[in-house]
Structure 1
Amino acid sequence: MDNKQNKRETGIRKEELAAEFLTRQGVKILERNFRCRQGEIDLIGRDGRYLVFFEVKYRKTARNGMPAEAVGYVKQQRIRYTAQFYLYSRRYPEDMPCRFDVVSILGDQITWIRDAFC
């Protein structure tokens, strides 16, 4: 098995772990791995009145930085454009309250960063 496939399998497992964590926190997961030409969103869910677009980032150790630090400006913009397409394609109203959150997984520690794209 090559390294790219190993990373993808690890990503799938960590996204599942994040979804389970969020569900325990009261989030209703609506979609996983939404893809379109603009990009991909790991998880989409409802948290109260908010439609939330989640980016899940995992690092085994902090040696190369914290997981959330990997969600830079360019990645944030790609997620925003993908979210716009999602809202349009699913016919959500224009005034739908939305939020962009990051679920950071460092080793076994999960941190939920709400409204991460300020």
Structure 2
Amino acid sequence: MNARWRYRPMTKKIETAHSFGLRAEDMAVLILRLKGYRILARRYKTPVGEIDIIARRGRVVAFVEVKARAVLSDALSCLRPQNRARIIRTAEHYLAATPEAADYTLRFDFIALAPPFSWRHLDNAWLAPT
């Protein structure tokens, strides 16, 4: 287990939302790698937005959004339509910059996490408008 992900509820150090998010992304990368994915990019940033993880397995390229909350049900319910639209725009930017990715099946995944060990990976969590 990644020692940085260890849940320490009794520590006096207050963890920032940013560092909590980075640790959640580290955990999501570990989950994806264990499921056989190859990580193509992390925190892919463009002028239109950011994608947490871009991963490939076989002929599938997945654009993955990661959300972490104290309770898994909260993490599962926090992905809003605005987030999805931003991720879709950023994926379009990635595809324009990486034309070979267009030869793959593309999908949008969502990983929800709650410390210490609760997680859910939703394959094809939403569809891009055609």
TM-score calculated relative to the size of structure 1: 0.87
Q: 1:110 aligns with which of 110, 119, 123?
A: 119
Give, as a single letter, the amino acid of the residue that structure 2 aligns with 1:116: A
Unpaired segments ≥5 residues, structure 1 = none
Give yes or no for the alignment of 1:29 onto 2:32: no
Change (3 A) 1:69 1:96: same
Aligned residues: 113
Unpaired segments ≥5 residues, structure 2 = 1-13
Percent of pairs identical after alignment?
A: 29
TM-score calculated relative to the size of structure 2: 0.80
Larger Rg: 2
Give the alignment's Cα RMSD to 1 decimal.
Answer: 1.7
- 1:91: how far off? 2.1
Moved over 3 A (4+): 93-96
SS of the residue 2:93 aligns to: helix
